Amino acid sequence: MNTARRVAATLLAAAAGLALTACGPTSPAASPAASPAPTATNDTAGAPTDVTPTGSVTSPGQQTSPAATHGTNPEDQMRIAITIGDQRFHATLKDSPASRDLLAQLPVTLRMDDHASVEKTGALPSPVSLDGQPAGADPDVGDVGYYAPGNDFVLYYGDMSYNNGIVILGRLDGDAAQRIADIEGFITATVTALND
């Protein structure tokens, strides 16, 4: 009887030992702590200052080539240049039906009149969509806009109050508003789309 108990106890101890060995990691590489789960990163390092970073999400070990992300952000395709005489200005448009309609008309050369020393306005060849736009806006210095009643493309370089029919299309880059303010009277402006 004692022998049977000893054999049973030995078999039970051996089985428990095997069970513990089978449940544990067999090598450091198989341990979950040795290979952490991938985490999302924002890959914006080195983006040019005049181009909106794409903010592409990658996991460790995954390479995202510039060609794979170029043009995926709508703002990458919503950049314009405004040439006045020998000066060239840039602006970034918001993605909207109005901005897309403007881009469809470019390139265009406009005679732009000065109004109240706050804005330069010039009539576009065709109206732009007002879908999704509020009844009016209070533009800031440096805004690029559209004035629906006159079908005008507008560069705001001074303080303008709220008016019905104003649509904010985007923003001038850098010191463009101040440089435009320094140009007196009417201007001839050529507006073109930038294809980065």
| Domain CATH for 100 | 2.40.100.20
Same structural domain, 87 and 174: yes
pLDDT reported for residue 73: 55
Same structural domain, 29 and 60: yes
Question: What's the total number of domains in the chain?
Answer: 2
Q: Of 11, 40, 69, which marks where a domain is finished? A: 69
pLDDT reported for residue 121: 98
Same structural domain, 55 and 7: yes
Q: CA-to-CA distance for 16 and 167, rounded, in angstroms?
A: 76
Q: Are strands 187-194 and 152-156 parallel, antiparallel or unpaired?
A: unpaired
The domain of 145 spans: 75-194
pTM, to two decimals: 0.62
Same structural domain, 80 and 165: yes
Same structural domain, 86 and 115: yes
Retrieve residue 61's tokens. 């070990």
User: Could you report the average pLDDT of every consecutive run of 10 residues in the chain (196 residues)?
Assistant: 54 50 45 40 36 34 36 64 97 97 98 97 97 97 98 97 98 97 96 85
pLDDT reported for residue 32: 41
pLDDT reported for residue 92: 97
pLDDT reported for residue 11: 55
pLDDT reported for residue 23: 47
pLDDT reported for residue 14: 52
Retrieve residue 111's tokens. 């005679």
Q: CA-to-CA distance for 89 and 40, rounded, in angstroms?
A: 36
pLDDT reported for residue 55: 35
